[in-house]
Amino acid sequence: MSKPVKERERIVVRFAGDSGDGMQLTGDRFTSATAVLGNDLATLPDFPAEIRAPAGTVHGVSAFQIQFASSDITTPGDHADVLVAMNPAALKADLETVARGGVLVLNEDSFTQRNIEKAGYTADPTQDGTLDGYQVYKVPMTSITVRATEDIGIGKKEAERAKNLFALGLVSWMFGRPTETTLGWLEKKFGSRQEIFDANVAAFKAGYHFGETTELFAESYKVEAAPQAPGTYRNIDGATALAWGLIAASQRSGLPLLYASYPITPASELLHELSRHKNFGVVTIQAEDEIAAANIALGAAFSGQLAVTGTSGPGVDLKAETVGLAVIMELPMIIVDVQRAGPSTGMPTKTEQADLLLAMYGRHGESPLPIVAASTSSECFSAAIEAARIAVRYRTPVILLSDTFLANSSEPWQIPDVENLPEIDPAFATPNGADFLPYSRDDKLARPWAVPGTPGLVHRIGGLERQDGTGNISYDAANHELMTRLRQAKVDGIADDIPPLDVEDPSGGADLLVLGWGSSLGTITASVARARANGQKVATAHLRHLNPFPANTGEVVRKYPKVLIPEMNMGQLAALIRAKFLVDAQSYTKVQGLPIFAEELEREIARVLDE
């Protein structure tokens, strides 16, 4: 006798536990199964800053949130419909994320007096009314897992550790997720270690059967597959997408990729991922510091490679002088900034988008460079290729902005056909018998890229101001003004080489334009959809090029009576838009280390329209 199944359009599930409880793994596996089933999805891993805070404390809670639906969704959800809490600390930390009336699945075995106190509760929250208004399910996950694995020859600690697979099994049953994906993955990962494999499978199945069999859960849910255009898909996170985009740019340009960086949260994954692909000719160098990384990349750029250095905010600070050198040397180089909450050390594992003005102005002197920003996890792939295209074509360093949220969260991605990816032509300088002029320029104001080893093009470059054309050191007054303006004009001219800003305005006469950049896209899409459903006339536009802006940007922002710019900073894009276009753009700012939520932006849109 099977239980009734309720259909839902969308669900937000959040897994939370101790850092050592395997919540990220559980979340990843649930995501895989969900992707295979065909739901649209978005994920948000929520890591603590410390590697292993004291077990059972709120500081060590690690969570993974996923929203999945039978329709198009663009955010991981403002609130959780279901919270799986592996211990009291997880409950304490994450209860506030759960929607009113939401489901709480608690690991009953871990709600001991000691753990309850360690979490900072004065009394047992399951007894004292704290959880009134939620649907609470207390499941003895640890003890069932231990019992399920008792015939397999592993120790008690190992057995207890498998409780995350129990949780995964239970939640997989709750939402009708296919089990083959998880079982297949376990086989691949643990197939060679029989006992570990058997224990994890047993735990997973125990969780699944628990849901199916016990009377605790009266019903399960199903969320149908979302309509997707024909094609082949995979789930991808921003870090992987960005790394693969760089490899794609290397392949499509014929330039060997050299990635030099220094480990820093949340950019280290780029280094790890790229370091695995040596059979693509990718050289990765873990430099002694951030500045060395930038200089090693710049030296490789001089030598004719696709040179990249990746970091987060603190590293961009350190690289500033070197990036300025790249600007005056006019060499192609990509600086990836995976933004995180600042200032200074800030909150290393929390997201923010507050490095825009740093990217624009963060070098002394007049030091312009192009800026590209990814808007979704999967878009990190094409953003990387675009950054490479601009860097190579214009012989310039380019700053590519991503953020913690994009890097860590994942979504389905229609895999592009490699043949359709843009080609990039390095157009190296070749000797033509005449004297070589390293600072001559083509119609895009780009100078020749003359690579050491090439006869007939021997020249010297450096950080001192150089004479237009010859590239000799020059202190001439008129020359410095000319070169300063040329460097600016070169970057400005890129506006003719990028797509116009696309505006979506179904009403045709919107009263408000919501303008965004970076990872706020998902939230803007969701909140504006709700606003439109409420009859409001709202237009949206999203910038992927922050310098230069697309050529029609001024026209766009001047067209609407009101312009609202939501950002996870104190109004940085707004400052640029206001300064350049003299429009009274309004900011909605959030600096909490969290994405902007759709419902808070929906409220703000309504408020602004009412003004």
Partner 1 sequence: MSDVVQNGGQAPGDAAPTLTKKDFTSDQEPRWCPGCGDYAILSTVQAFMPELGIEPHKTVFVSGIGCSGRFSYYMDTYGMHGIHGRAPALATGIAVANPELSVWVVTGDGDGLSLGGNHLIHALRRNVDIKILLFNNQIYGLTKGQYSPTSEEGKVTKSTPFGSVDHPFNPIALALGVEATFVARTLDNDRQHLTEVLRRAAQHKGTAFVEIYQNCNVFNDGAFDLLREKSQGKHNQIRLEEGQPIVFDDGNRCVRIGDNGRYEIAATAETEPASIVVHDPHGRPSLAFALAHLSHGPDEPSAIGVFHEIERPVYGQAIQHQLQAATERLGAGDLGALLHSGDTWTVE
Closest distance to partner 1 from the beta carbon of 384 (Å): 13
* CA within 13 Å, CB half, 172: 32
Give the residue among 122, 374, 140 at the shortest CA–CA distance from 246.
Answer: 374
Question: Using CB under 8 A, which residues numbered 535 to 564 contact partner 1?
Answer: none
Token pair, residue 470, equals: 């010859």
Among 418, 434, 477, 478, binds partner 1 (CB under 8 A): 418
38 forms part of the interface with partner 1 (CB under 8 A): yes
Residue with tokens 């376990």: 186
Cβ proximity of 109 and 141 under 8 Å: yes
Backbone angles phi, psi at 104, to 5 degrees: -115, 120
Q: Is 437 in the site for partner 1 (CB under 8 A)?
A: no
User: Looking at residue 475, what DSSP letter applies?
Assistant: -
* Cα–Cα distance, 83 to 104 (Å, whole number): 5
Q: Which residues pair with 136 in a beta bridge?
A: 104
Among 112, 143, 303, 467, binds partner 1 (CB under 8 A): 303
Residue closer to partner 1 by CB (options 249, 360) is: 249
Applying CB under 8 A, among 5, 123, 216, 415 the residue interacting with partner 1 is 415
How many angstroms separate the CA atoms of 581 and 272, rounded? 41
Residue 162 near partner 1 by CB under 8 A: no
Establish if 260 lies at the interface with partner 1 (CB under 8 A): yes
- Measured CA to CA, the distance from residue 582 to residue 550 in angstroms comes to 16
C-beta of 177: minimal distance to partner 1 in Å?
Answer: 13
Largest CA distance in the chain: 89
What's the closest the beta carbon of residue 300 comes to partner 1, in angstroms? 4
CA atoms of 435 and 457, how far apart (whole Å): 8
Tell me if 461 contacts partner 1 by CB under 8 A.
Answer: yes
Q: Does 256 bind partner 1 (CB under 8 A)?
A: yes
Return the range that interacts with partner 1 (CB under 8 A); candidates 123-131, 369-377, 453-461, 494-502: 453-461
Strand-pair partners of 541: 503, 515
Residue with tokens 């996170």: 237
Sequence-distant (≥ 6) Cβ neighbours of residue 471 within 8 angstroms? 437, 438, 439, 459, 460, 461
By CB under 8 A, the residues from 70 to 109 that bind partner 1 are: none
Kindly state the smallest distance separating residue 418's Cβ from partner 1, in Å.
Answer: 5
Q: How many residues bind partner 1 (CB under 8 A)?
A: 66
Segment contacting partner 1 by CB under 8 A, of 45-53, 212-220, 255-263, 351-359: 255-263
25, with CB counted inside 10 A (0-12, 13-18, 19+), is middle
- Residue 206 interacts with partner 1 (CB under 8 A)? no
CB of 328 to partner 1, least distance (A): 10
Q: Does 304 bind partner 1 (CB under 8 A)?
A: yes
Binding-residue pattern over the window 317 to 356 for partner 1, x denoting contact by CB under 8 A: ----xx--x---x---------------------------
For 6, counting Cβ atoms within 10 Å of its Cβ (0-12 exposed, 13-18 middle, 19+ buried), the class is: exposed
Please, which residue, 114 or 234, has the CB nearer to partner 1? 234
- DSSP state, residue 192: T
* Contact residue for partner 1 among 460, 478, 509, 533 (CB under 8 A): 460
Task: By CB under 8 A, tell whether 472 contacts partner 1.
Answer: yes
Q: Least CB distance from residue 144 to partner 1, whole Å?
A: 28
Q: Token pair of 379, please?
A: 């878009």
Residue 33 Cβ, how far from partner 1 at the closest point, in Å?
9
Q: Is residue 234 a contact residue for partner 1 (CB under 8 A)?
A: yes
Measured between alpha carbons, how far is 604 from 606 in angstroms, rounded to an integer? Answer: 5
**Alpha-carbon gap, residue 36 to 24, rounded angstroms:** 18
> Which residues, numbered 174-193, are part of the site for partner 1 (CB under 8 A)?
181
Residue 271 in contact with partner 1, rule: CB under 8 A? no
Does the protein bind partner 1 through residue 453 (CB under 8 A)?
Answer: yes
Site membership for partner 1, residue 469 (CB under 8 A): no
- From residue 131, give the alpha-carbon distance in Å to each of 96, 226, 455, 515: 11, 33, 76, 40
Among 214, 228, 430, 534, binds partner 1 (CB under 8 A): 228
SS3 464: coil
Answer yes or no: are the C-beta atoms of 583 and 560 closer than 8 Å.
no
By residue count, the chain amounts to: 611
Residue with smaller CB distance to partner 1, 68 or 121: 68
Q: Residue 226 has which token pair?
A: 């979302």
Q: Which stretch binds partner 1 (CB under 8 A): 63-71, 200-208, 451-459, 544-552?
A: 451-459
Per CB under 8 A, 458 contacts partner 1: yes
| CA 114/CA 131 separation, integer angstroms | 19
CB of 303 to partner 1, least distance (A): 4
CB closer to partner 1 out of 315 and 550 = 315
The tokens describing 427, both together, are 């157009």
Considering only 200-208, 281-289, 517-525, 601-609, which stretch makes contact with partner 1 by CB under 8 A?
281-289
Q: DSSP state, 383? A: H
Position 293: which residue type?
A
| Exposure string over 367-383, b if 16+ CB within 10 A, otherwise e | bbbbbbbbbbbbbbbbb
Establish if 42 lies at the interface with partner 1 (CB under 8 A): no
Tell me how far, at minimum, the Cβ of 415 lies from partner 1, in Å: 5
Task: Choose among 163, 105, 165: nearest CA to 131.
Answer: 105
Binding partner 1 (rule: CB under 8 A), the pick from 296, 341, 390, 400 is: 296
Q: For residue 20, state whether it binds partner 1 (rule: CB under 8 A).
A: no
- What is the C-alpha to C-alpha distance for residues 403 and 567, in angstroms, rounded to an integer? 12
Which of 426, 463, 493, 554 forms a contact with partner 1 (CB under 8 A)?
463
Q: Rounded to the nearest 10 degrees, how much is the dihedral formed by the CA atoms of 471, 476, 478, 483?
A: 30
Range 493-532, binding partner 1 (CB under 8 A)? none
Using rule CB under 8 A, residue 114 touches partner 1: no
User: Least distance from C-beta 22 to partner 1, angstroms?
Assistant: 19
98 or 316: whose CB is closer to partner 1?
316
Interface residues with partner 1 (CB under 8 A)?
32, 35-36, 38, 181, 228-235, 244, 247-248, 251, 256, 258, 260, 277-281, 283, 285, 287-289, 291-292, 295-305, 307, 321-322, 325, 329, 415-416, 418, 452-464, 472-473
